[in-house]
Amino acid sequence: MKPGYFLIPIFLIVIIIASCSKGSTSKHPQLSLESVSVDSVAPGDSITFMLKFQNSGGSLGNGNFFSVRTRLNQVPIPPQDSIGSDTLVTQIPDFNGASKGEFKYVLGHDDLTEGAEINLNDTLIIKFFAVTPNNDTSNVVSTPKVVIINP
């Protein structure tokens, strides 16, 4: 075997290691769920989520914040409805270019029940993530179970 053939596997290993290191989360935004105000929401009430963000790669400002409801007691929205009423998208304020901070996200009872059988109680788990203007995606954080009380 010629010595040059040994360089090909080494070269491929170096390329794989280099491409994996580019996918590290050091420049991706990080979210953490700090608190949830209540564990059940009745008509007329709301729930408040306190979240912290950190983005060493820049600001989250003007990106998008996603909350995705997973219904545990009711039939979910059909899969062909790619965004659907169980996904809420909100534009993130500029935050004056801050790379870390804290924000409050409030959902009312009507926000939580949109698209659901309104006369049935439900239990939800809500997942949050953010996407920067440069399309860097944060980690996904999940809430504990939230009970939705319906009349």
Q: What is the DSSP string of 38-79?
A: -SEE-TT-EEEEEEEEE-TTS--TTSEEEEEEEESSSPPPPT
User: Which candidate, 51, 57, 32, 41, places its Cα nearest to that of 108?
Assistant: 41
Per-residue pLDDT at 6 exceeds 80:
no
Q: Tell me the C-alpha distance between 149 and 118, whole Å.
A: 9
Residue range 27-148 in CATH 3.90.1150.10: no
List, for residues 49-91, the tens digit of each pLDDT value: 999 998 877 778 888 999 998 888 765 555 554 455 678 888 8
What tokens appear for 134 in the block?
A: 């440069």
User: Which candidate, 42, 49, 39, places its Cα nearest to that of 110?
Assistant: 42
List, for residues 86-138, the tens digit of each pLDDT value: 788 888 888 787 888 888 999 999 888 876 666 778 889 999 999 988 888 99
Q: pTM here? A: 0.73
User: Which candidate, 130, 124, 85, 88, places its Cα nearest to that of 106?
Assistant: 88
At residue 93, the pLDDT reads 83
At residue 5, the pLDDT reads 45
Those residues whose C-beta lies under 8 Å from the C-beta of residue 74, and which sit 6 or more positions away, are: 116, 117, 120, 122
At residue 95, the pLDDT reads 77
Instruction: Classify 107 in phi/psi space as left (phi over 0), alpha (psi -120 to 50) or beta.
Output: beta
* Mean pLDDT of the 32-39 span: 95
Per-residue pLDDT at 32 exceeds 90:
yes
| Maximum mean pLDDT: which of 11-25, 100-114, 133-147 | 133-147
